[in-house]
Amino acid sequence: SHLFWMGADPLVAAEALGEAVYHVHAKDTMLNAAVQATTSLLENGSLMDIPARSWSYITLGFGHGEEWWRQFCYRLKMADYDGWLSIEHEDVLLNSLEGLEKSVALLKGVMPVAPSDFKPQAI
């Protein structure tokens, strides 16, 4: 989430960090380009006033869709990360249980779980 609002690309970061990744927080961020254009990414407004903020923490999938999260999980797998994705729910608009359930459902749909069984053909 911090990489989002700081203007970095978490997909590229996951690849660049590779085996240095040892813990991952799964937290989404909604970016508000119209507000960013006048106030920047350095947000100090109320967490409760999402329309007035340049960025806000929201439930997984509400800021970046399923395809983005699929790519993120795949890149973690490419880096041999096999650890937890710790869901952080800081969405002020969604109930914490509902937000957690939606986040878990999204990750279950995109996260590779089973080990690869690919075997190159013998030549």
Does 92 fall in a domain?
yes
CB atoms within 10 A of CB 73: 21
Q: Looking at residue 3, what is its pLDDT?
A: 84
Does 21 fall in a domain?
yes
Does 115 fall in a domain?
no
Q: Looking at residue 34, what is its pLDDT?
A: 94
Does 16 fall in a domain?
yes
**Number of domain units in the chain:** 1
Q: Residue 74: is it exposed, middle or buried by C-beta count within 10 angstroms (0-12/13-18/19+)?
A: middle
Q: Are 44 and 105 in contact (CB under 8 A)?
A: no
Does 117 fall in a domain?
no
Q: How many CA atoms lie within 13 A of 17 on its CB side?
A: 16
Does 23 fall in a domain?
yes
> Average pLDDT, stretch 15-28?
92
pTM equals 0.88
| Bridge partner residues of 31 (DSSP) | 55
Does 101 fall in a domain?
yes
Does 119 fall in a domain?
no
Q: What domain range is 19 assigned to?
A: 2-110
